[in-house]
Amino acid sequence: MRQIENTRVVILGQGYVGLPLAMRCVEQGFLVVGFDVDDRKIDQLNSGSSPVEDISDSELAQALASGRYIPSDDPGSLAGFDYAIISVPTPLAAGQPDLSYIEAAISTIAPQLRPGCTVVLESTTYPGTTDELVADRIEELTGLRAEEDYHLGYSPERIDPGNPVWTLVNTPKVVSGVGPTSLGAVQWFYDQCVDKTVAVKTTREAELTKLLENTFRHVNIALVNELAMFAHDLDVDIWEVIDAAATKPFGFMKFSPGPGVGGHCLPVDPSYLSWAVKNRLGRTFRFVELANDINRHMPEYVVRRLRAGLTERESLEGASVLLVGMAYKPNTGDARESPSVDVATRLIDLGADVRVIDGHVDSSRLPRGSVEIDLTAAEVASAEAVIVLVDHDDIDLDLINEHASYVLDCRDVLRGENIESL
Ligand SMILES: NC(=O)c1ccc[n+]([C@@H]2O[C@H](COP(=O)([O-])OP(=O)(O)OC[C@H]3O[C@@H](n4cnc5c(N)ncnc54)[C@H](O)[C@@H]3O)[C@@H](O)[C@H]2O)c1
């Protein structure tokens, strides 16, 4: 019987996914190396400053003080691991899955991989990555065969940064293995970390589960976004329609329109699926293509609506526009693929004077040509238009309502004569 306190876990990638898992493992008594190739991140972690909003500095300090959490960029620190969890980026490169980070992580693990160890991939990817790419590459580098010599599995991450209700611990976690022994090892590990694990047949079902979840959101958001554009032209209040539909206790799930989709998941993951369908089956995943098309065009639509809203103006050149919220969703500092950045860039290209507010996003992530300001009555009053793109909890919406002459509200959080909802 394996003992938690003797189990050495290495988590490759200390980002939004890897760091919370590392903290949970330490809390549960594992010995954890948080490995990352970014030496600045490792220095930051070692200094006790958390780079991820969901993890507080005090949580990190506690983990460091326990002596059971070691952030490191030294591949030698992986020596003697029992479990290696891979949570590195899986972006798109020229519209295609870029698995080079996973491959690099495997090369780091390989020299330390011993019979009896367990390797789990958490990065989002298309079905077949674990039992083909990961297994084959490990065998090539070490001669060890998955399931026979070591355990190999996939467990998709469902973490929702900024969500205080559904956390790593109380969100059920799907687990899988390339065979029964692997599944046993993978499930044992996650059973120590989360309230409930859900085992599926093979790693392929687990990989596709994650892509189904994200594609489901992507497609449904695209549906309400397209409907929002039609409803506006038909003079129907889409927000009231959605709220009314959401009173149906069955068969409907509420999704809200917005300025587009961002973050690491929705703009990227469904394309992993459509790529796999195209590559393996030679077919087109039409739902994904359509959702991509609609959601990608939303920032352009926001600019169009602004232009239409500023009735006195011929063009947006020289217009002073205040953008509220540059992250991709509320209460996070994550601005990756943020549609707000796209809106800002478009306005800057049209010659607008763009000011932005977001206390969560690092200034280096703000679009070049924009001016970062604090939310004050004077700034709001001097703007010709305010666009509410993201409604972080710390944004004083009343102040905007009171002082703005015109607001394009992409989140339907304001009411008043001067407010127009998307
Ligand atoms: N952020 C989310 O909400 C979320 C949710 C579910 C799944 N995911 C998936 O999890 C994976 C990781 O996403 P994330 O948001 O944590 O990314 P992130 O960018 O926040 O963190 C990834 C970390 O991996 C590090 N890294 C890169 N190459 C490495 C290597 N070879 N070895 C070790 N570290 C390496 C990077 O320096 C970075 O710190 C992705 O596949 C993503 O799709 C993310």
Cα dihedral sign for 188, 194, 200, 205?
A: negative
Atom of ligand 1 nearest to the CA of 17: 16
Q: Are 126 and 275 in contact (CB under 8 A)?
A: yes
Is 297-421 the same fold as 210-293? no
Atom of ligand 1 nearest to the CA of 160: 3
Digit-coded pLDDT (tens) for 333-380: 889 899 999 999 999 999 999 999 999 998 988 989 999 999 999 999
Burial of residue 318 (number of CB atoms within 10 Å: 0-12, 13-18, 19+): exposed
The domains of the chain are located at 4-201, 210-293, 297-421
Class of 210-293 per CATH? mainly alpha
Q: Which of 25, 117, 193, 265 is catalytic?
A: 265
What is the residue with the minimal CA distance to atom 36 of ligand 1?
Answer: 13
* Both tokens assigned to 376: 């004050």
pLDDT of residue 70: 97
pLDDT of residue 41: 97
pLDDT of residue 185: 98
Q: What is the CATH number of domain 4-201?
A: 3.40.50.720
What is the residue with the minimal CA distance to atom 35 of ligand 1?
Answer: 13
pLDDT of residue 264: 79
Atom of ligand 1 nearest to the CA of 105: 31
Task: Please indicate whether residue 25 is annotated as part of the active site.
Answer: no
pLDDT of residue 311: 84
User: At 323, is the secondary structure helix, strand, or coil?
Assistant: strand
Q: What is the DSSP string of 322-372?
A: EEE--SSSTT----TT-HHHHHHHHHHHTT-EEEEE-SSS-GGGSPTT-EE
Question: What span, in angstroms and rounded, lies between the C-alpha atoms of 225 and 217?
Answer: 12
- Tell me which of 3.30.930.10, 3.40.50.720, 3.40.50.2300, 2.140.10.10 is the CATH number of domain 297-421: 3.40.50.720
pTM for the model: 0.92
Question: What span, in angstroms and rounded, lies between the C-alpha atoms of 15 and 124?
Answer: 14
Question: What span, in angstroms and rounded, lies between the C-alpha atoms of 267 and 101?
Answer: 18
pLDDT below 70 — which residues of the chain? 1
Ligand 1 centre and the CA of 101: distance in Å?
A: 9
Q: Which residues line ligand 1 (CB under 6 A)?
A: 12-18, 35-38, 41, 87-90, 101, 104-105, 108, 122-124, 157, 159, 161, 264-265
Atom of ligand 1 nearest to the CA of 90: 41
Question: CB 216: neighbour CB atoms within 10 A?
Answer: 14
pLDDT of residue 54: 87
Ligand 1 centre and the CA of 11: distance in Å?
A: 11
In sequence order, which residues have a C-beta less than 8 Å from that of residue 279 and are 6 or more positions away? none
Ligand 1 centre and the CA of 264: distance in Å?
A: 9
